[in-house]
Chains A and B, each alone.
Chain A
């Protein structure tokens, strides 16, 4: 049975689920589905949630989604994309994020989809972008993307969101990890989860210190009292605010009990308003589409090149490189000079 984009637009959940599968598997029909939905996209607020395994990302997303759904008379429709790693040895994956999202069951305004990272990292970025396109086109207002912030690539995927929440927890040596993965630079909101645990204060303090250091490095020294304090209730935003001027809050949260979650909800809303008013929203949108376009061009060119050149010349060139008769760069140039 063909998947109907019209049915997806009307809110048919089965069609939506099938469309996500088609997109994930690169089925031929995924192309026409994406094309039909694409004109309706650009409205959803994409929120990336990343951090080391076990920091409480899924627990936090559960609380955030629940709170957003309860917060207003006309709550946003929420989709959650939860990405977990594929085992490189077996190709299988154990996707357990839903365990923490039991509170959301039964709410038809929420759609949760687990996703295995599968093969190529560029592929993951593209699949995630395509998922966001389908869900955005299906009319979801708020899309959370949970990825394990273990490597550069996953961090980058979360970084394609409008708003990036980085989750840390005390006692994991995360301060160091955060620097290594370049994770602090992409954070719009820093959450220190497990505030009920000893050491949370220290983690928060260390993160604040690091944030300030990186601000100094970028020549963007915050001065006391001059920080832009933005919230939807305060409204007014300075005219010349660009999205560089966002001050990343460090928020203590106990996701398992829900404390601190309201604050993060407000920060998410503030950040969206901030981006919309500063022009940062469009900037991020452009950046995201550009990254997706580039990744696709790379894939397509590589695919075409592989088809054109066949296996022989590549193996020959590789052999010469192995024998030190040819540098890898020279080999690459001669192989691509078709």
Chain B
């Protein structure tokens, strides 16, 4: 009767003050049966990595609209590793120029989603990533 649920931390690093997109994806993933921990605006990489540790999440989803992704994302990944969270998969969503995507993937991001991404697609990707049959 082991009842394993995928746990996802949705975080907004950096200074931009819009969390509509973050909330939309949070709700969509909840509706896909996941447990979403939402931490609110203006999270530092330290705060995100600490919350990810305490909540023992499988996925960290970062929503970034400020354009600071090239600095913020590697900083979060670095802090996650520092906390021993080597298995956590990092998804990034927001306004990310096409040209920056390979660099982010190279830094260890699992997937990047642009504006207008179908939320169902994100949910499916996460399910795929954790489906034991595929892992």
Query: Do the beta carbons of B29 and A92 come within 8 Å of each other?
Result: yes
Q: What DSSP secondary structure best describes chain A's contact surface? A: mixed
Query: Do the beta carbons of B46 and A106 come within 8 Å of each other?
Result: yes
Query: Do the beta carbons of A20 and B56 come within 8 Å of each other?
Result: yes
> Contacts of A118 on B, CB cut-off 8 Å?
3, 5
Query: Do the beta carbons of B27 and A94 come within 8 Å of each other?
Result: yes
Closest to A17 in B: B56
Residue from the list B30, B56, B85 in contact with A93, Cβ < 8 A: B30
> Contacts of B37 on A, CB cut-off 8 Å?
95-96, 98, 114
User: What string of 1s and 0s marks CB contacts (under 8 Å) between A143-165 and chain B?
Assistant: 00000000000000000000000
Measured between alpha carbons, how far is A111 from B54 in the docked complex, in Å? 7
Query: Do the beta carbons of B26 and A94 come within 8 Å of each other?
Result: yes
Residue from the list A14, A18, A91, A119 in contact with B33, Cβ < 8 A: A91
Known: A90-B32, A94-B27, A94-B36. A26 touches B47 (CB 8 A): no
Known: A94-B36, A99-B39. A112 touches B30 (CB 8 A): no
Closest to A14 in B: B84
Q: Is A105 part of the binding interface, using a Cβ–Cβ cutoff of 8 Å?
A: yes
Measured between alpha carbons, how far is A263 from B126 in the docked complex, in Å? 46
Measured between alpha carbons, how far is A119 from B3 in the docked complex, in Å? 9
Query: Do the beta carbons of B30 and A13 come within 8 Å of each other?
Result: no
> Contacts of A105 on B, CB cut-off 8 Å?
44, 46-47, 50-51
User: What string of 1s and 0s marks CB contacts (under 8 Å) between B22-41 and chain A?
Assistant: 00001101111111111110
Closest to A19 in B: B56
CB distance from A163 to the nearest CB of B (A): 23
Query: Do the beta carbons of A91 and B54 come within 8 Å of each other?
Result: no
**Chain B contacts to A: CB under 8 angstroms:** 1-5, 26-27, 29-40, 44, 46-47, 50-51, 53-56, 83-85
| Nearest 9 interchain pairs by C-beta | A92-B30, A99-B40, A17-B56, A105-B47, A91-B33, A21-B56, A92-B33, A94-B30, A93-B35
Further 10 A-B residue pairs, CB within 8 A, beyond A93-B35, A106-B46, A106-B47: A14-B85, A17-B55, A27-B2, A86-B35, A91-B5, A91-B33, A94-B36, A105-B44, A105-B50, A112-B51
Q: Could you write out 9 A-B pairs with CB less than 8 Å apart? A: A25-B3, A26-B3, A92-B30, A93-B30, A94-B26, A94-B27, A98-B39, A114-B55, A303-B1
